[in-house]
Amino acid sequence: MSLEQEVLQRAQAWTTETYDLLTQQEVQKLISEGGEALTDAFYKDLDFGTGGLRGVMGAGTNRINKYTMGMATQGLSNYLKAQFPNEEISVAIAHDSRNNSKEFTQQVAQVFAANQIKVYVFEDLRPTPELSFAIRHLGCKSGIVITASHNPPEYNGYKVYWSDGGQLVPPHDTAVIDEVRKVQPQDVQFSGESDLIEVIGKEIDEAYWAEVKKQSFSDAGKDDLKIVFTSIHGTSIKGMPEAMALCGFTDFHIVEEQAEPNGNFPTVVSPNPEEAAALKMAVEKAVEIEADMVIGTDPDADRVGLAVRDLFGEMVLINGNQAASVLIYYLLEQWKAAGKLNGKQFVGKTIVTTNLIDKMAEAYGLDCPNCLTGFKWIADLIRKRPDMQFIGGGEESYGYMISDFVRDKDAICSGVMLAEAAAWAKSRGSSFYEMLIEVYHKFGFYLEDLVSMTKKGKSGSEEIAQMMTDFRKNTPAEIAGEKIVDVLDYDSQIAKNILTGTTSSINLPKSNVVQFITDKDSKITARPSGTEPKIKFYISVNSPLAQTEDFESTKQELQDRIGAIKGALGL
């Protein structure tokens, strides 16, 4: 059977009475029009990536809709019952501000209840990290967030958590998928008992905010730090202002034009705080009122974007690697000053995040295990080290976590602590930006860049696959004059030294990632996204910063090296 015939057969099944009338009509329209839209909607089933189930909303097996979410929930219900026989099972559900998130939440809750599973549902939208916290706080076996994080408005998703508050990792992730694949649409029970569904809200909010406050080390400078905050139409408006006030920040200004939760994200092209355009209104307000800092979060409030004053007093954006480095430095300095470091603590990061964090951890006598991309793997680091204390961790894509009361990246807590670091620096006659330069001076100047290419649909997926094949089969001897020394293939789990020909095993789960390390200790990584139709190229270069006065010239040197690498790779 050809792909076209298979797609048509799959689509025609969605025009039967198993599906509601609106879905049948939508699919019939796709069949009539044919083409790429039909193929993309039905050529495969949605799979779990680094962030769970995520896709464009609409009818189809490769789309987010009540049926794909229903089958995922039915499969998860079956798995939970098998994992916890003869036990009372409960789950917690939260949702973000996206279109249809509230409706999807109600439908998912009904499926759990129909399977005799107790459901705690937040009364309204809530930050993703609060859902992670609520799972352990309530003693749940699992949890769901209906979100597509920072994806465009047409997306939604279904992020699954386990009983420890972390996202699914092996063996549970593939096992849940196996159960989901056994489920047919007609197997899903869409109507459950209402007495098994309990609405939650204020009590969980206050317990979560109290844990955020416990992470604070100092009130120094908080009254003197002026902050501009934008939720970019997302859920952090339901937590960030309260957490900031509770932790002592009084000069806090909200971008009102972006404060209303809205799944169309009307004031931005993309609600992604990694992109300068998403923070434009907040930066303009900061310039207007002479603020020290801008904090912006994505729709489900797990990522944080920052802007601060540079050495010349201009507002500049701080990337994820830089923010993570300053945050970890602040935490380590405070732990050291309090006499709490005894070698039984650790910090964590992903393989594409700056090695500056590894250097800092080493200087403080701590371990810094690296994990695959995706915060579920940082939660897994905590799970695997029950006798060690987790101080904090981060990833380059603007996600950070402090302590372990939440087991996912947390824009609320990390936003508060980034502001505390800035306030502490200001109280010492310094600034957030100057603290970053201090870190570079002490541990090495690391500079990173990210190139992201979008390749949509089936043809885009095939193009990305071919690019990764080419990287593996045609490894260059050098890139921009830097000799390749090590090639790390996380799919084959083999690291090879090109100069000696020796190989070693990579002790991490398989992942479609290729990484080059050069003789100048540059790190170049190619990785298809697990949640978007993109392939990402991460570039990291470094150099000593002997004198802080050399900051600008060293930065230019590193930027030139990055530019040369990008040019050599055709990026």
Catalytic machinery residues: 149
Residue 537's CB: how many other CB atoms inside 10 A?
A: 20
* Distances in whole angstroms, Cα of residue 475 to Cα of each of 144, 303, 421, 471, 509: 41, 34, 42, 6, 22
Q: List all residues 6 or more positions away from 205 whose beta carbon is below 8 Å from its beta carbon.
A: 126, 130, 238, 239, 242
SS3 for 319-380 is: CHHHHHHHHHHHHHHHHHHCCCCCCCEEEEEECCCCCHHHHHHHHCCCECCEECCCHHHHHH
Residue 294's CB: how many other CB atoms inside 10 A?
A: 27
Burial of 82 (0-12, 13-18, 19+ CB in 10 A): exposed
Rounded to 5 degrees, φ, ψ at 462 are -70, -35
CA angle 494, 495, 499 (to 5 degrees): 135
The number of angstroms, rounded, from the C-alpha of 79 to the middle of its chain's C-alpha atoms is 25
User: What is the rounded CA–CA span in Å between residue 230 and residue 283?
Assistant: 10
Q: List all residues 6 or more positions away from 526 whose beta carbon is below 8 Å from its beta carbon.
A: 467, 468, 471, 513, 514, 515, 535, 536, 537
Q: List all residues 6 or more positions away from 114 whose beta carbon is below 8 Å from its beta carbon.
A: 189, 190, 191, 192, 193
User: What is the rounded CA–CA span in Å between residue 40 and residue 548?
Assistant: 53
Q: Is the bond leading into 129 cis (omega within 30 degrees of zero)?
A: no
Q: Comparing C-alpha atoms, which of 429, 273, 563, 525 is closest to residue 555?
A: 563
CA angle 491, 497, 503 (to 5 degrees): 60
- Match 């009983």 to its residue by tokens: 163
User: What is the rounded CA–CA span in Å between residue 148 and residue 96?
Assistant: 8
Q: List all residues 6 or more positions away from 518 whose beta carbon is below 8 Å from its beta carbon.
A: 478, 479, 482, 483, 484, 485, 524
Q: Comparing C-alpha atoms, which of 206, 187, 207, 191 is closest to residue 18?
A: 187
Q: Comparing C-alpha atoms, which of 272, 266, 304 is closest to residue 99?
A: 266
Positive/negative CA dihedral, 450, 307, 416, 200: negative
Q: What is the dihedral of CA 552, 554, 560, 563, to 10 degrees?
A: -90
Sheet strand arrangement including 345-350: 370-371, 345-350, 389-395, 399-402
User: What is the rounded CA–CA span in Å between residue 9 and residue 232?
Assistant: 41
